[in-house]
Amino acid sequence: MRSCNIKPPSPSSSPNHHSFAFAKKLKLGHLHLSVWLTLQELQISVERKTRSNIRMFASLSVRIGEVLKPQHIQSEGSSHKPH
């Protein structure tokens, strides 16, 4: 049996960005669930092996930094300030 290690989803980024990391592997029957969470990114991977040994794989990756951007809200309000 070979051991599977969870690697960061984006190896191109420097390791300094991944100051916080949460990795979890779950096994639900035939489903293998991998969750990788950093401050910038959330990745969920689901792998399923059927009886005919066909691997079905689904991966969801969300970049948290692009979702939480309060800067554009502040720039809209400051663009028109009274004199």
Element at 55 (helix H, strand E): strand 55-63
Residue 49 pLDDT level (bands cut at 50, 70, 90): confident
Residue 83, in any domain of the structure: no
Residue 36, in any domain of the structure: yes
Residue 1, in any domain of the structure: no
Q: Which amino acid is at 31?
A: L
pLDDT in tens, 3-35: 556 555 554 444 444 456 889 999 988 889 999
Mean pLDDT estimate for the chain: 71
Q: Which domain holds residue 63?
A: 21-78
Indicate whether 69 pLDDT > 70: no
Provide the sign of the torsion angle of the four alpha carbons 15, 43, 67, 20, taken in this order: negative
What CATH number is associated with residue 67?
Answer: 3.10.450
